[in-house]
């Protein structure tokens, strides 16, 4: 496996895991927006699990895609206010 792909796959997997640990659902519990946030969070968690599965089975391309998709779910949710996230640092693109 090329070193660049391996490094990038590991980096994106770590980024997604760290972002999941930092994101919290912003809308009040029991509201439709909180339900939407929970679904987005679940999608990101599922993509993290999928990515780890692909990486463990020597499929770095699909692992990287899974990690990237998972982070996109979180980042998009943060941008529309579904998650409270850190505004500084490398985890999210919100300001």
User: With helix as H, strand as E and coil as C, how does 33-90 read?
Assistant: HHHHHHHHHHHHHHHHHHHHHHHHCCCHHHHHHHHHHHHHHHHHHHHCCCEECCCCCC
Token pair of 23 as six digits = 């994101």
Q: Please name the fold of domain 3-84.
A: Substrate Binding Domain Of Dnak; Chain:A; Domain 2 (1.20.1270)
Summarize pLDDT for 56-70 with one digit per residue, the tens: 999 999 999 999 999
CA distance 15 to 67: 8
pLDDT of residue 3: 65
Domain ranges of the chain: 3-84
Q: How many residues does the chain have?
A: 95
pLDDT of residue 75: 95
Q: Which residues of the chain have pLDDT under 50?
A: none
């Amino acid at each position: 496996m090329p070193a660049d792909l391996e490094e990038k796959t590991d980096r994106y997997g770590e980024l997604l895991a760290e972002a999941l640990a930092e994101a919290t659902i912003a809308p009040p519990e029991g509201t439709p927006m909180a339900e939407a946030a929970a679904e987005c969070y679940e999608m990101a968690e599922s993509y993290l699990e999928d990515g780890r599965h692909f990486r463990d089975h020597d499929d770095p391309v699909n692992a990287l895609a899974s990690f990237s998709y998972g982070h996109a779910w979180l980042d998009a949710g943060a941008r529309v206010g579904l998650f409270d996230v850190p505004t500084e640092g490398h985890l999210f693109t919100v300001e």
